[in-house]
A and B are shown apart, each in its own frame.
Chain A
Amino acid sequence: DGGITQSPKYLFRKEGQNVTLSCEQNLNHDAMYWYRQDPGQGLRLIYYSQIVNDFQKGDIAEGYSVSREKKESFPLTVTSAQKNPTAFYLCATRRQGGNYGYTFGSGTRLTVV
């Protein structure tokens, strides 16, 4: 079945360490997005990519970095510069060039201690 795989589901890191969250898709979608969700809040956009080797900052990009070397993969690195990294991170994809809905992964819950 086609879909999005986010791994791991739960991640614990010590403060000051960088950590990379994985997002892989086999939907052949061009666009990929990373969102962050804090408890009781809506999702906020971190970064997005509409084509391989290109990506743009979203609304809260500070302290995060991404790469898009392959169409299937859009990893997110949470750096030590991110002041409040503990959150639920969600990856989404969408087919470009038309009127389509978004598909979301099941998320990674990151806890920094």
Chain B
Amino acid sequence: QSALTQPRSVSGSPGQSVTISCTGTSSDVGGYNYVSWYQQHPGKAPKLMIYDVSKRPSGVPDRFSGSKSGNTASLTISGLQAEDEADYYCCSYAGSYQGVFGGGTKLTVL
């Protein structure tokens, strides 16, 4: 199972919005609504930010939102804050009882 495709890096200034894409195929992202997003700060464990494409766990700010169109899922962070600087990973069910992550995107807050 090939990793989902994410941009290696994105950046934005405080207060701005950024969108991170996650492109797969009809066998994973496009075929199921089991897309999740994780935030990982250096040396730390990942943290769930979005699940089931667009649902937010309790405690995650509503500045974080998720969506999907066809084979591409997206994570949008609005009102960027310094603490949002981290690596972000998407994840999807890939059929045949397999999961697949994206390669990760480094978000820099300028």
Q: Do A and B come from one complex?
A: no
